Structure 1
Amino acid sequence: MAIALPTMLFVAIALTTTMSTANAIDIMDKDLASEESLWALYERWCENHVVEREIDDKARRFNVFKENARMIHEFNQHDMPYKLSLNLFGDMTDEEVNHTYGRCSNIMSSGRKRQSQDRVMQGAIAAREGLPTDVDWRMMGYNTRPSAVTNVKRQGTCGGCWAFAAIAAVEGINSIRTRNLTSLSVQQLLDCDKGNEGCRGGNAEGAFKYMIHNGGIETEAEYPYVGHEQGHCSVPKKNRNPVVTINGYKQVPPNEVALMQAVAAQPVVVALDANSMAFRRYGGGVFVGPCGTDLSHEMTVVGYGTTGEQGSEKHIDYWIVKNSLGPEWGENGYIRIARNVSGHDEEGLCGILIDASYPVKFTREGVNDIMKTK
């Protein structure tokens, strides 16, 4: 049975097809012409990303930066649907990026596909016809509803992507149900959710369980992010602003239409393979790989859409995915990942279909309707 979808007005195309890359530095041929021009480019990158290096370290970093700049410039000369960028990883080697920003999800890809027949949506292909063409929960929507997506957050070197992804999904459903977009506390999950492992990794479903059993989650203002675990849980006194609550969570069956149905209703957490050099240095456009299915990172799908006209070479279906590396990464902190990719029907590109879930929040009317059926 198809999921009932809310009536929404979507104006996603205007945003997703014109989005610029935040803090982007274009690499010109003249930038690579000499050591002096490369140094100037590096200084510009450091200033743009507010990076300070010690004198001794800066020379070594510059050598890494040169190789990255040349590699990125060469890649971007090819006719690909996405570009690479001198983003926050500009003067780091792939090994350093992997060591510092590596696995933050403890989900294992093997055996994670939903096997139960009762979780498989019957008639999913036919249900595609009733779905919106474009969805973007960042935009103002139906009946003056506010956006369901807060600003992109920055996890830094803390491996808490699972917490950021879960919080983004809860912020989304809370805004949809209450028409109040509130930034919620990632730090509370890192400090207080003992079912996960804080900055060492975790998963969003565990975070949902914590919020259900704890009675909700505090706001970002009440319990702000500090970039590391504090070693103790410091939930504010309850005489302050009330926490945001959820009633449960659901898993999405591993097929594209099921995820489209879920995303058409609210933002959804996904686990995916973010290990490739191309993914980490993504700068804009529709990412088409390479990537595998090692579910090392969790992010939040906040919409989907299509580029180009049907039948044209530029026609690519994509997911709009919110990351937690700050607005300096990708398209202002987001990545568009190709969907409906041939050969990836079961797992989706980068494994995006394998393990998806979303929080459930009832309105007062919804609770009353449930009580009437009991």
Structure 2
Amino acid sequence: MDTGKFFLVVLSLALVVGVAKSIEFSAKDLETDESLWDLYERWRSHHTVSRDLSEKQTRFNVFKSNVRHIHKVNKMDKPYKLQLNKFGDMTNHEFRNSYGSKVKHYRSLHGSRSKTEFMHENTDNLPPSVDWRKKGAVTPVKNQGQCGSCWAFSTIAGVEGINKIKTNKLVSLSEQELVDCEPDNNGCNGGYMENAYEFIKENGGITAETLYPYKAKDNKCDALKMNAPVVVIDGHENVPENDEDALMKAVANQPVSVAIDAGGSDFQFYKEGVFTGDCGTELDHGVAVVGYGTTLDGTKYWTVKNSWGPEWGEQGYIRMQRGIDAEEGICGIAMEASYPVKSTGDNPVKTPHKDEL
């Protein structure tokens, strides 16, 4: 395996395909245990969450704590708001364990990240804002489900983006191929993006999502589908570590894969606004930066595509504060950034049809 920082993301019961919208509540819902219980029952019905009788009381106590936290934060003068979403009766400890990883352990085993060229080093005159969604280089938000495959979604977002930039064609690509076939990562038990980019290069490309659809579980690699690539890349480059200016140069040119610490309570229940909440650098989640900008009040932010479905956050996205004092960026966003390299618009000539496999 190539040396590098490997982060293992273990996802359990938190993410379910097709997460329903969050429900609203008011201070009146928090006044008594009875009103809170009614809210809990409404929340369970809304999200189709079933709990047995022995578990409901324990989960209700967790739910009460979470609702009060959300309400408290939303009354503060913060640039972001929280919502009562699918994770409403999970403790933050459970949430962190669901997304948790042993990054430092893997760092000690595999050493520091490999150094690469940084082709965007001399990029200057950066635009004040970039949004690759508006340029048609970002597919709709996807949902990784009960599978720790965020690394695959982050990788695919990068490849989809550079392919659109080079070919002017946006093709939704297969995360499941990476989950099933990429040998240096661990499928639903986690991985990191550099390995996935190199797999796509060495394999001669990646196939379409329609051909190799996502199943949210580890399956045996389908060699026929894997050997029907529709998009190729030349490899990948790493953004210089702990350098938000370098990350900005990269994002000005293409969507970029990043690793973040996504385990905080405020991240768990994020709804909207520029996230400035407390988080560390225990990198446990792979996402994609697809733009940057500045709010009317002057707050700088990164636009980040997540893979928890469109009902989380801002239609599946989170804006995270940009240009903070810490060199690693908020939640470690500048620590492990990378992107695919594609020098030309050439791809495999023929897109195979399902019936041909």
- TM-score when normalising by structure 2: 0.83
Work out the CA distance in 1 between the residues paired with 2:202 and 2:115.
27
Q: Is the 8 A contact 1:105 1:298 kept in 2?
A: no
Which position in structure 1 is the counterpart of 2:127?
132
The answer to whether the aligner puts 1:302 opposite 2:300 as a matched pair is no
269, 275, 281: which one pairs with 2:257? 269
Work out the CA distance in 1 between the residues paired with 2:226 and 2:185.
24
Deviations 1:258-284 (A, max 9, x none): 211111111000112222222222222
The answer to whether the aligner puts 1:234 opposite 2:228 as a matched pair is no
Q: Is the 8 A contact 2:167 2:345 kept in 1?
A: no
In structure 2, stretches of 5+ residues that fail to align are 1-19, 348-357
Which position in structure 1 is the counterpart of 2:74?
76
The answer to whether the aligner puts 1:252 opposite 2:239 as a matched pair is yes
The one-letter code matched in structure 2 to 1:135 is V
CA distance 1:185–1:123, change in 2 (3 Å): closer
CA distance 1:44–1:340, change in 2 (3 Å): same
SS of 1:358's partner is strand
160, 165, 177: which one pairs with 2:149? 160
TM superposition shift of 1:211 = 0.3
Deviations 1:199-218 (A, max 9, x none): 11110010001000111111
Work out the CA distance in 2 between the residues paired with 1:79 and 1:245.
47
The answer to whether the aligner puts 1:354 opposite 2:354 as a matched pair is no
Deviations 1:91-124 (A, max 9, x none): 11112212223239787499757889x7698778
The answer to whether the aligner puts 1:91 opposite 2:89 as a matched pair is yes
Deviates more, 1:79-88 or 1:317-326: 79-88
- TM-score when normalising by structure 1: 0.79
Work out the CA distance in 1 between the residues paired with 2:249 and 2:190.
28
The one-letter code matched in structure 2 to 1:250 is E
325, 334, 338: which one pairs with 2:308? 325
Q: CA RMSD in A?
A: 2.8
Work out the CA distance in 2 between the residues paired with 1:123 and 1:186.
32
Deviations 1:39-94 (A, max 9, x none): 33223323433433334433432222111111110121111111222122111111
Q: Is the 8 A contact 2:99 2:284 kept in 1?
A: no
CA distance 1:191–1:281, change in 2 (3 Å): same
Deviations 1:289-309 (A, max 9, x none): 31122222111000001112x
In structure 1, stretches of 5+ residues that fail to align are 1-21, 142-146, 309-313, 367-374
The one-letter code matched in structure 1 to 2:281 is T
Q: Is the 8 A contact 1:319 1:338 kept in 2?
A: yes
Work out the CA distance in 2 between the residues paired with 1:167 and 1:115.
22
The one-letter code matched in structure 2 to 1:138 is R
Work out the CA distance in 2 between the residues paired with 1:207 and 1:114.
14
The one-letter code matched in structure 2 to 1:155 is Q
The one-letter code matched in structure 1 to 2:198 is K
Work out the CA distance in 2 between the residues paired with 1:122 and 1:359.
15
344, 347, 355: which one pairs with 1:363? 344
The one-letter code matched in structure 1 to 2:294 is T
Which position in structure 2 is the counterpart of 1:214?
203
CA distance 1:51–1:340, change in 2 (3 Å): same
Q: Is the 8 A contact 1:160 1:190 kept in 2?
A: yes
May I ask how many residue pairs the two structures share in their alignment? 325
SS of 1:236's partner is helix
SS of 1:326's partner is coil
The answer to whether the aligner puts 1:282 opposite 2:277 as a matched pair is no
The one-letter code matched in structure 2 to 1:251 is N
Deviations 1:284-327 (A, max 9, x none): 2111131122222111000001112xxxxx32100001111112
CA distance 1:176–1:54, change in 2 (3 Å): farther
337, 340, 354: which one pairs with 2:320? 337
